[in-house]
Structure 1
């Protein structure tokens, strides 16, 4: 098994340092020892550590723990997030509480209880990993937050439908009601969810997005609720679930219509109780989330057919927002295209670009089964290939999305597959889940083939 974790042990007892290094080395990636606390800063400058084991008393005859607390503060000046486990030869509960209140991750005695030492360090290390994961996600969230105002421009349109939707969004976003966003693939359901989050009181907390269509049935609980180490064969470490990560913020569940009935029951229980229990765990964890779900599937029809729970639909559907297909909001195509032109021109250092009037008219004539996502892809391709400051209709490489009839004399498998996919997408009016079902493949495979054939 791959060893993880770098530990620095600082103690004036050199024999103890040798013993600890021998015992811990098989369990951690790196174990460094140091008997002189004055060299702690030197070690921190040269190497990156996950945990520092730090003696509380270095001078003979002194056992008040102040030395350990002082050096812990020095460590945290260098790295406030670094985990410090304090060790002492004296069983002093008050000293332990004092140390933890001042920032220690844990506290152990020099009683040489091997199992306790190892379990303490393992627990602290796993907690550090979880904190780093959350920190990384928060940095990603911060980046997305900086981009959200620009992304929201995608919903500023001239059509009455979009004006009504944005009016509703401004009303419901500040509340904590559960929302269901409906619409075809590519209409911007996740961007809408992020916009709502940014307009809510939870905007400074996490926005966690989960594509339920991409999660295997067997991993549903582990992904959403987390798991403990050893809960199943591949559970090598503890894992924080998406519900817990999103607590305090917004949880976005995309493609909720793809959930099996068993998964629906588990999700409903978590939403009703507002708590989750990690796989392999026995202690429930309270969660505080604002739930936004999305789907391109007809949930009311699925309820009637018995493939979607009615009580779950009521739970997620306090307010529904249906995003229109791009072909039904043609007056917004021009503003959206101009937005994408500028965005892609900046991305590819193309300077100032513009669309000619005939290019915009050509865009409006398209059926856009892939909706906004397809429009964005079309504009990006045109920007990359353009040689002038103006992009005309010929530069857009458009087609009318009407499936071609294959020549009986053509035996090219790729051409047959491309046209069959085009026909399925058009037949399903851009609903990728239905198209994938008709083609007998899963959604991810369909998207791979769409990229392959540049559809």
Structure 2
């Protein structure tokens, strides 16, 4: 069965062209030949060529390779993803190597052996495929970024802590400083990373997310650095690693605290050199990326316990961003619930449904051990389970009687006052007049306290 590929061969020797076409037509779906390189543009208008074989010299008596350089640049200018294989004589190898630095993918020596020529073209096709995948990823990322309504995407909140984080993001995003994001699971570390990328000079390039906690030691190098065909038993084709995919963009290494010490050493080498080697290859590939890392683990303590490399910690945290737990920013809970409610009410066809505001005091006082992720799932569950057009029962969110849920313990006199007001409001079913009377306050004094604690 023939390989689906468009091949174009350009050489001034008719015998070379006909011989190559006779052989390659047995292997590929389309093979075109041309003696005159000035006709290249006409071929490009007819087809998208996967591989182009280009001779280095076309004029009689000329062997300095300058014509090859000229037409190589012309092809690359027409299609910067073009895969060009140079056809060269033995004495012109140095010229071919120089041309590869200018964009050629490989070269073959005349006279060639058919199997060697075939292997070179097949390898070039894999490179073409990889380039297309990278281009597609970049286009997808660009589309995602253009669809983002705000520069902070879904990083929602108006609490002091969130405002400080947004301010810090705006300052560091325009730099290429390495960022370390700290926070409990479910606090939105990836959203912060994406907000940084979306405001950076790299926003039109890829954002590559790598969950290091999900990578086994055996897969680490292959996933991050890529591999070449035959590097190990299951390496059927070349594979582009995550660092290559992130070239020009941002790579987000989540759960970096889970890496073993040997893998930390390998990662540090790449971060310092900005060069990678695919598994099974000795060729170094330069990579240009913005690094953002995240973890819920205490890296400083791990350094003291020799579980995390100190030099790696210094390398990844030029700027450190700490995200507060949800129970440390209860005033953001209504905003988050409304955001998720809007998503799920549309998803489940319940657009006439609304949320009763009286449920917020209870939900603000719940501990939310799973943070925003738990709140998101809780909101979805409430939308699904509610049988009325108004969600006014907080137990639909926490899935158990509110009186039995774990609330964060008051730590200060203000916390105790806030908790007492919430409990009194609940006992009076949100009636402000009855609550103020029971607390021995005027309605105005009660509202001042409600505003103070973000309960209205």
Normalising by structure 2, we get a TM-score of 0.70
* C-alpha displacement of 1:184: 1.0
Q: Which residue of 2 aligns with 1:306?
A: 306
SS of the equivalent of 1:251 reads strand
8 Å Cα contact 1:88/1:108 also seen in 2? yes
* C-alpha displacement of 1:197: 1.0
* C-alpha displacement of 1:117: 1.2
Q: For the structure 1 residues 106 and 319, does the alpha-carbon distance in structure 2 shift closer, same or farther, using more than 3 Å as the test?
A: closer
Q: Which residue of 1 aligns with 2:134?
A: 134
* C-alpha displacement of 1:296: 0.7
Q: Which residue of 2 aligns with 1:197?
A: 197
1:169-184 alignment to 2 at 5 Å? 169-184=169-184
Q: How far apart, CA to CA, are the structure 2 residues paired with 1:54 and 1:118?
A: 15
Q: For the structure 1 residues 73 and 391, does the alpha-carbon distance in structure 2 shift closer, same or farther, using more than 3 Å as the test?
A: farther
8 Å Cα contact 1:231/1:279 also seen in 2? yes
Q: Which residue of 2 aligns with 1:430?
A: none
SS of the equivalent of 2:25 reads helix
Structure of higher CA gyration radius: 2
8 Å Cα contact 1:248/1:289 also seen in 2? yes
Q: For the structure 1 residues 114 and 171, does the alpha-carbon distance in structure 2 shift closer, same or farther, using more than 3 Å as the test?
A: same
Q: Deviations over 1:315-347 (max 9, x none)?
A: 112221111111221100001111222233444
Q: Which residue of 1 aligns with 2:22?
A: 18
Q: How far apart, CA to CA, are the structure 2 residues paired with 1:273 and 1:400?
A: 53
8 Å Cα contact 1:41/1:75 also seen in 2? no
1:32-431 alignment to 2 at 5 Å? 32-33=30-31, 50-51=50-51, 83=83, 111-150=111-150, 152=152, 154-348=154-348, 350-351=350-351, 353-384=353-384, 389-393=389-393, 396-399=396-399
8 Å Cα contact 1:5/1:125 also seen in 2? no
Q: Is the deviation greater in 310-319 or in 346-355? A: 346-355
* C-alpha displacement of 1:399: 2.5
Q: Which residue of 2 aligns with 1:6?
A: 5
Q: For the structure 1 residues 147 and 377, does the alpha-carbon distance in structure 2 shift closer, same or farther, using more than 3 Å as the test?
A: farther
RMSD: 4.6
* C-alpha displacement of 1:243: 1.6
Which blocks of at least 5 consecutive residues in structure 1 are unaligned? 58-65, 405-421, 427-455
* C-alpha displacement of 1:114: 1.7
Q: Is the deviation greater in 202-211 or in 342-351? A: 342-351
Q: For the structure 1 residues 384 and 226, does the alpha-carbon distance in structure 2 shift closer, same or farther, using more than 3 Å as the test?
A: same
8 Å Cα contact 1:367/1:400 also seen in 2? no
Normalising by structure 1, we get a TM-score of 0.70
Q: For the structure 1 residues 312 and 73, does the alpha-carbon distance in structure 2 shift closer, same or farther, using more than 3 Å as the test?
A: closer
SS of the equivalent of 2:324 reads coil
8 Å Cα contact 2:385/2:396 also seen in 1? no
Q: How far apart, CA to CA, are the structure 2 residues paired with 1:133 and 1:168?
A: 34
8 Å Cα contact 1:148/1:195 also seen in 2? no
8 Å Cα contact 1:353/1:391 also seen in 2? yes
Q: For the structure 1 residues 400 and 384, does the alpha-carbon distance in structure 2 shift closer, same or farther, using more than 3 Å as the test?
A: closer
Q: How far apart, CA to CA, are the structure 1 residues paired with 2:20 and 2:232?
A: 36
Q: For the structure 1 residues 272 and 384, does the alpha-carbon distance in structure 2 shift closer, same or farther, using more than 3 Å as the test?
A: same
Q: For the structure 1 residues 337 and 282, does the alpha-carbon distance in structure 2 shift closer, same or farther, using more than 3 Å as the test?
A: same
Q: For the structure 1 residues 257 and 327, does the alpha-carbon distance in structure 2 shift closer, same or farther, using more than 3 Å as the test?
A: same
* C-alpha displacement of 1:294: 0.2
Q: For the structure 1 residues 395 and 383, does the alpha-carbon distance in structure 2 shift closer, same or farther, using more than 3 Å as the test?
A: farther
Q: Which residue of 1 aligns with 2:29?
A: 31
Q: Deviations over 1:155-187 (max 9, x none)?
A: 342321111121222222212111110111111
Q: Deviations over 1:104-123 (max 9, x none)?
A: 86665773422441233023
Q: How far apart, CA to CA, are the structure 2 residues paired with 1:16 and 1:158?
A: 67
SS of the equivalent of 2:117 reads helix
Q: Which residue of 2 aligns with 1:434?
A: none
* C-alpha displacement of 1:139: 2.7
8 Å Cα contact 1:156/1:163 also seen in 2? no
